[in-house]
Structure formats: C-alpha cells, structure tokens
Structure 1
C-alpha cells in the first residue's frame, strides 16, 4: 500500500494543437517535434518526466498524430504510454483534450503538461517534491500579457483566480502550463470538463477554465513559485528562438542520484578570483 501512495504521478501531455502561429516552422512538422538545442521538444519533456521517476504517460494527440506516435514509439521503447486522439483538435482547446484523457487517467494523481513548453527539469522536481495537492507552476518575473493565464493568490499562495481574463496588476504571475492534480480532485476536474464541453460555447476553453470553476466551488489550488528557473512556451518564431537560446544542449535522462552528484561536483569547483 505504501508503494501505491508514493507512486509518482502519471504524466498527461496535451499535444493535439496545430501550432499555426509558428508557421512556416510548423507547416511540415508538429510543434512538439521541433528541435530545441539538439533535442526534440517532446523528447525533452518525456526525458524530464523519466528523470523524475514518472513512468506512465497519456499523450493526447490530434494534428499529425501518427507522426508524433511513431516518434515516441521509436525513441522511447518500453515506456507505458496510452494514446488518446482528439478528432476535433481544429475547433477545440486544451480543456477538451484534457477531458478526453479521463478514461486513461482514471483516479490517478497526474501532472498535466502542455506539449509546447520547454522547461528545466528542476521545475518538475520541485513540483513533485511538494506534498501539497493541486499545484499550478507560476512565474512571477515573466511579463504577463493579455493572452497569458494569470494567477491571483492570497498570502498563503492559495489560488483565488486563474485565467486569461484576470487583472495582470493583481496577479502573482503567469501559469506556465504545468500543473499537478491530486487523485481526489481529478474526477471532479473531469466531471467539470465534461459538463463544460457539452456546451459549444466552451469548446475553445483552456484547461485552466475548469480549474477556475473548481476554485469557485471550493476546491483548493495553490501556486508553486518557479521564478528564476528556465522555461519557454513556444507559440511563435520568437519563442522558438528564445527556447534555443535558453536550452542550448541536448537533454539526457538523469536520475535524482546522478543529479545530486552533478550538483555536488559543481559546488566543489573553485571559481578563479
């Protein structure tokens, strides 16, 4: 029973979108299969998950789904991955894609990741090492724009509001598209999403809209401050260039023990004066 309690969360990766704002880069290649710093974006994400002990994956696919599936199957032989297809990817958003993952997730705790986010594995380690349930990774220093998901919190980092319509001046910062959802909250979230997606007006809602509705109904979400750690959401050619500047080397799968040894070795290096 103890192993069940301590089992790492499942990774739910939403990779159904077209990525039209990245054209022409995305014209012949899915956004998640673009290469950043010598590694494919999706490969970076999966290796980061593996480095943190996560071994179960749900990939929600749509645009160029077969290409993405073939890449994952070839690159990561033997991992436990369930593919879910969003046939309506052209007229839906991450809320609809996440809803489709319900059956594959069941009642498991999971981490939801938008497939267009390139991030330092330290962000995921911190998310998993925090015992609190229902966490949104939030960056305080990244400029908050009109189209960004804004997170407003109280003094205890409890989420009061989350969504694109929030007041940027009141926001702690912007959500980066990575969240941990508890086993208790998951079924409530999927029920909320199913209700929303029954209305055509909500088909384009992002997953965060459902978080906001749960918050309004009393479910506790908290913000995890990841300010200072590297991450880039790739929506445009400028974002793609920024990601390559921030992540200049290929990713590898590194266990916690290996990372600890690397960090300790760095600390022993004497900086010349």
Structure 2
C-alpha cells in the first residue's frame, strides 16, 4: 500500500455552509454535526481519515463555526487541525471556501471532502492508495440530473469534462465530493480559484468549476470508480433518512491491519473451503 511507506495527504474539509435545505434539522445544529447511524457526520469523516493514516486536517468553517470547533476539539484531542474561517459563507460557495484554505495547504498533497458526505472507509483507502496524481471518486450507479456533478471520461478514465452542466447522457457518473489533489496541481488550482473569485459573478461557483478550467488547460484528472461502495450526500431530509438506512451503526476507527483481518474473515465466510 502506497501510504504505508509514504506520507499520507492532508485532509481538507469544507464545512462552511448553512444546510438550509435540511431545515428543520439544521435550524439549531450545524449540518456536519447531525448524527447518522449513531455517529456525527463530521466524526465519521475524521475517523475514516484516521483509519487511513491521515492525521493532518484543515477545516473551512462559516455557519456555526464555534460549535463545530468545540465538537472537534473535544472529540479529537491531539490531532493536527487548522481552522480557516469563511466570513462570507452566506454569499459564497465551495469554490471560495477552498480558495481560503490555500495558505494553510501550501504545496501539500491533499484530499478534499465536502462535509455533508458519509462514506465507507474503503472508498478513502482506494483513493489514497491510488498512484494517480489527481483523482475524483465517481459513482456510475446514479440517476444523473441537473443537481449532480457529472463527469465525462475517456476509456482510460481520464476526465474530459466535469460539472453540473455536463450532459448526463455522456457522463460516466457522479463525482461524490471526495478528491485527491497532488502537490503539483494544488497551486494551479488555487491560482485558478483566486482568479475566478476576483469577479462577483463567480462567488457562488462550486470548486468543480476550477477543476473544469484546469482540465481545459491540460491538467490531467482521473476518475476512480467506487460504484458499489456505500456513500451518501446529505442535502435534504430525504437524503438524511436514506443515509441512516445505509449507515446504521456508529463509526469506529479501523487500522489497515484490522481491516485486512475483517476482509479475510468475510472472504472465508463467502468462500468456505
């Protein structure tokens, strides 16, 4: 495994949004602090990162920032976490939030997470173990509509187009909101975001718009097919209910060795000799 001998990437979690579509669930609670299957969404994400050897975190906060900071500091004593505050969260979007993290990230390789995604740790293991430089996790088993971030690739899984406006008939699947960005590409990405955010018309852009601009300029992104593994993006009460159906038990931190033993035991049950 690549990251058993190499330094794992930094985790960058975008958690500045209000989550208004989840009202009334978010009327008195930050979206990332809602509980799914007995564990807080953000706790699931951080524990999955720790299970994959990722121990350095950047959290971009805005709405209810103090509550999120207090939860993380109390739940995860000793981890390396830097908080970045998006004071303009009500008038900006994920592109602006990611841009704000550039000074902290510098030239480090990082994995970017949307804070409203709940996912099987196996997705993250596959991502960090990939020897590709820039990788988007893609699910093919999704009914693609206007809301989804759609991805078109060639037969080598190189990304040709990405964004909500992509033709769903041509798309391979949906980008689930978890990507790995290389140390080389990070500065290019932040330069693109910085240029975009100079214009008032781009303040509400998603970070995928910057990915698309980089793709057009020749930066190579690859798609990682995670179809069949469990994940859920939580935007609405219906999403929240569905996530609780998928993830019915509290999260635990599982090391690579423990996961290997669990997988071997599952294989033996499935294929008894």
Output the TM-score relative to the length of structure 1.
0.97
- The 5 Å alignment of 1:226-265 reads 226-265=226-265
Equivalent position SS for 2:208 = helix
Alignment coverage as a number of residue pairs: 270
Q: Deviations over 1:7-47 (max 9, x none)?
A: 00000000000000000000000000000000000000000
Is 1:181 the counterpart of 2:188 in the alignment? no
CA distance in 1, matches of 2:182, 2:218: 15
- The 5 Å alignment of 1:35-184 reads 35-184=35-184
Q: Deviations over 1:110-168 (max 9, x none)?
A: 00000000000000000011100110001000111211111001111111100000000
Equivalent position SS for 1:99 = helix
CA distance in 2, matches of 1:231, 1:191: 31
CA distance in 1, matches of 2:52, 2:145: 31
1:129–1:270 CA distance, 2 compared to 1 (3 A): closer
Unaligned runs of 5+ residues in structure 1 are none
CA distance in 1, matches of 2:271, 2:155: 39
CA distance in 1, matches of 2:191, 2:245: 40
The Cα shift of 1:270 comes to 6.4
1:208–1:74 CA distance, 2 compared to 1 (3 A): same
2:25 match: 25
1:47–1:215 CA distance, 2 compared to 1 (3 A): same
The Cα shift of 1:248 comes to 0.1
1:213 match: 213
Equivalent position SS for 1:269 = helix
Equivalent position SS for 2:90 = helix
CA distance in 1, matches of 2:103, 2:252: 31
- The 5 Å alignment of 1:258-273 reads 258-269=258-269
1:225 match: 225
CA distance in 1, matches of 2:270, 2:157: 38
Output the TM-score relative to the length of structure 2.
0.97
CA distance in 1, matches of 2:265, 2:226: 24
The Cα shift of 1:54 comes to 0.2
The Cα shift of 1:262 comes to 1.2
The Cα shift of 1:250 comes to 0.3
Runs of 4+ displaced beyond 6 Å:
none
1:12 match: 12
CA distance in 2, matches of 1:68, 1:84: 12
CA distance in 2, matches of 1:131, 1:180: 11
The Cα shift of 1:268 comes to 2.4
Unaligned runs of 5+ residues in structure 2 are none
CA distance in 1, matches of 2:142, 2:45: 21
CA distance in 1, matches of 2:88, 2:112: 20
Equivalent position SS for 1:53 = coil
CA distance in 1, matches of 2:193, 2:106: 14
